[in-house]
Amino acid sequence: MVVLLGLSALGQTRSDEDVLSLGIAELGKIKVYSASRRLEQASVAPSSVSIITAEEIRRYGWRTLAEVLRSLRGFYTSYDRSYTYLGVRGFQRPGDYNSRVLLLLNGHRLNENVYGSALIGTEFPLDLELIDHIEVVRGPGSSLFGDNAIFGVVNVITRQPTNPYDIEVSGDVASFLSRTGRISASATRGRLSSLISGSLYESAGQSSLYFPQFSSSNGGIAQNLDGNRYAHLFSDLQYGNLRLQGIYGSRRKIIPTADYETNFNDPGTRITDTIAQFDADYKRSITDKTDLEVRTFYQHYNYDGTYAYGGTNSPDRYLNYDSSLADSTGLDAMLDHQMGRHHLTLGTSYEHSFRVDQQNHDAGLPPLLNDHRTPWLSAVYGEMALDLGHHLTLHAGARFDYFDAYGAALSPRTALVYAPNTKTSVKYIFGRAFRAPNVYENYYMDGVSTERPLRPLQKENIQSHELVFERNLTPWLGATLDAYYNSLDNLVEWVPDTANGMTHAANIGQDHGRGIEVELNAKWKLGWQGRASYSLADAHNPLNRQRLDNSPLHQAKLNAIIPASRHAFGGIELLYASAQQTYQQTRVAPSFLTNLSLSTTPFWGGFELSATCYNATNRRWFSPSPPSTTEPAILQDGRTFRFKLSYRFSKDASRVLP
């Protein structure tokens, strides 16, 4: 449902006070980009779209992109104290690194080229305070965006400078000795605008974590092994039609769960993920009806893992080093043309990885793995939006991708949108999407527990049908009813080899998913707003009719922002997920989380305060584990707190005085 949340243009043109004064009907007219790779009204976009604004991120005290996404209908997350994993409509495969959701930054791909992962936890490389809004497009998106867009597209849009200059400083302290610091500066002058920001974060994590499977070692207590730190840098320079954008993020995490049968309670097991990307984007209007966009980019990704084996206090203790490195570059071009009442989008892209390396070795010994690849892909795509009259629009398009390692992939999409008035829209969407096997799945082996596939892997496929009904019931209340059916085949799964006991990737998965989602959105003037949703997701294996692992059947969510005074707001978030089954066929109990937040608007010339209590009722809850861990479920944090202070100095700071 987008009629409440569709604020994709407001972050650049309105202040927060202007946003708070808007009602449901006005918000429904805001335009989005990610559904068709062009701006269009959210209510008639050929997808089910949700948009989260910067205002909501502040009011609810969300700390990571994962916390933002799990507030939406049909989305949920899990955390194994290494990475955060995203589930969509009942589908979250054990050990998947979010490779079936496409993550974009200002329309540009962020999924890296080794694991295809979308980093959404503390490993996400952008500070949330730099976000203007987030567009979430449900359903297959390969017809326009290609690989990874199986279940949806998440497009993070950064904010634009609006004042001659701004300097912002913020810091927070939180449970587990956590602290964050950020400094940002932006400026505008004529056709030139610039933004640069840097952030640092460090947390000691929980001092003691109990794992009953390791009760014979240190009583099952992992001590001081939950540390986490990151560094972020973002820059955005625009001059006229040219935009230069760079992002860097590096996150190091100590692993307390003894993954891959490593030593328990050993501080030597840790991982570091680093991603950097540079984009140059040029847009030009060739005529008053034709626009051209050309983009070139460079992306770097590096993973380093250190794993301790042989006994924590044993003379036989040794370290295993696992690493991957990817560098890629590419070129995209897109033409957008208005033909009377119709609209045509055409594009092409090329990407070349001049190195994708994977290495694994024990300290002081020859490598167990030393693999080097240079994959490339090319694509062409197009979509036509035909105005058929009588308030009916037909969207039809497709994309053709060619991978040097896997061959061709064709991804069509058709959508029929009926909007009899400004309050109502009905959409039927049919789409096919794919995910190409990543380099890790196809070529990783360590000679001990993992081997390469016994036969070449093929691309995964999804075929989806979706019916969406959206209606503004009153000027302040909107409703959405969304029903879908997904059919997936050729899914890549990790399976054991009976001959040697090692595991390898194989195309053996075939899953079906069907469900229904209901959402109500309310928005009153002066800041009162809320949304409530219920999702029923039946994701199962069609061969044995068993429900999938890591798949809650029911989810219910409530989010509300309540003005406490003219300059203060309360935020309430309630999240319920029904029981799940782990890959070890054990049961994870239902979870019900309550998050409470209090925040202010700017006061005293530019200060802002916020305080958030997460899991306020201190409920005991778990996340399913991936196959790399011994324990089937990981205990999550109890009640925690965060206190945040920000200050913004602006040439026009007098306008924020109370």
Number of domains in the chain: 1
Tell me, yes or no, whether 254 lies in a domain. Answer: yes
Read off the amino acid at residue 596.
L
Lowest mean pLDDT among 18-22, 162-166, 295-299: 18-22
Tens of pLDDT, residues 343-361: 999 999 999 999 999 999 9
pLDDT at residue 29, as a whole number: 63
pLDDT over 50 (residue 212): yes
Q: Is the pLDDT of residue 79 over 60?
A: yes
Q: What is the DSSP string of 587-604?
A: EEPPEEEEEEEEEE--BT
Cα 110–chain centre separation? 10
Does residue 192 have a pLDDT over 50? Answer: yes
Supply the CATH number for residue 621's domain.
2.40.170.20
* pLDDT at site 7: 30
Residue with the larger pLDDT of the pair 409 and 584: 409
**What per-residue confidence (pLDDT) applies to 273?**
98
Residue range 613-622: mean pLDDT, rounded: 97
The two beta strands, 108-109 and 102-105, are: antiparallel
Residue bearing the bigger pLDDT, 316 or 652: 316
Give the range among 249-263, 400-414, 539-553 with minimum mean pLDDT.
Answer: 539-553
Residue whose structure tokens are 């297959």? 140
What pLDDT is recorded for position 604?
87
* Section 168-191 average pLDDT: 96
Nearest CA among 570, 556, 480, 472 for reference residue 528: 570
pLDDT at 9: 36
pLDDT computed for residue 517 by the predictor? 98
The pLDDT of residue 627 is 86
Residue 61 counted as domain residue: yes
Torsion angle (degrees, nearest 10) of CA 284, 288, 289, 292: -10
Residues 492-527 have pLDDT tens digits of 988 888 888 788 999 988 899 999 999 999 998 778
Instruction: Determine the pLDDT at residue 24.
Output: 62
Give the 3-state secondary structure of residue 213. Answer: helix
280 located within any domain: yes
Question: How do residues 468-481 score in pLDDT, each as one tens digit?
Answer: 999 999 889 999 99
pLDDT at 19 over 60: no
Domain that holds residue 26: 10-656
Q: What's the pLDDT score for residue 22?
A: 57
Residue 510: inside a domain: yes
Position 495 scores a pLDDT of: 87
User: Three-class SS of residue 335?
Assistant: strand
- Looking at the chain, the whole-number percentage of residues with pLDDT higher than 90 is 82
Reply yes or no on whether the pLDDT at 647 is more than 60. yes
Model pLDDT for residues 619-640, shown as the tens digit of each residue: 999 999 988 888 999 999 999 9
| Mean pLDDT rounded to a whole number for the chain | 92
Q: How confident is the model at residue 4 (pLDDT cuts 50, 70, 90)?
A: very low
DSSP secondary structure string for all residues of 42-70: GGGSSS-EEEEEHHHHHHHT--SHHHHHT
**Contact (Cβ atoms closer than 8 angstroms) between residue 358 and residue 443:** yes
Distances (CA, A) of 57 to 9, 293, 388, 403, 622: 16, 30, 39, 38, 25
pLDDT in tens, 109-133: 999 999 999 999 999 999 999 999 9
Band (572; pLDDT cuts 50, 70, 90): very high
pLDDT tens by residue, 51-67 = 999 999 999 999 999 99
pLDDT digits (tens, 9 = 90+) for 143-178: 999 999 999 999 999 999 989 999 999 999 999 999
Over the range 516-546, which residues count as b (16 or more CB within 10 Å of their CB) and which as e? ebbbbbbbbeebebbbbbebbbbbbeeeeee
> For residue 1, is pLDDT > 60?
no
Q: Give pLDDT, residue 5.
A: 32
Would residue 5 count as lying in a domain?
no
Please indicate, yes or no, if residue 2 is contained in any of the structural domains: no
Residue 134: closest CA among 36, 60, 34: 34
362-373 pLDDT, tens digit each: 999 999 999 999
Residue 4 lies in a domain: no
1 within a domain of the structure (yes/no): no
The answer for 98, left when phi > 0, alpha when psi is -120 to 50, beta otherwise, is left
Length of the chain: 658
Query: Residue 475 corresponds to which tokens in the numbers above?
Result: 């000027």
Q: Which residues contact 260 (CB under 8 A, 6 or more apart)?
A: 307, 449, 628
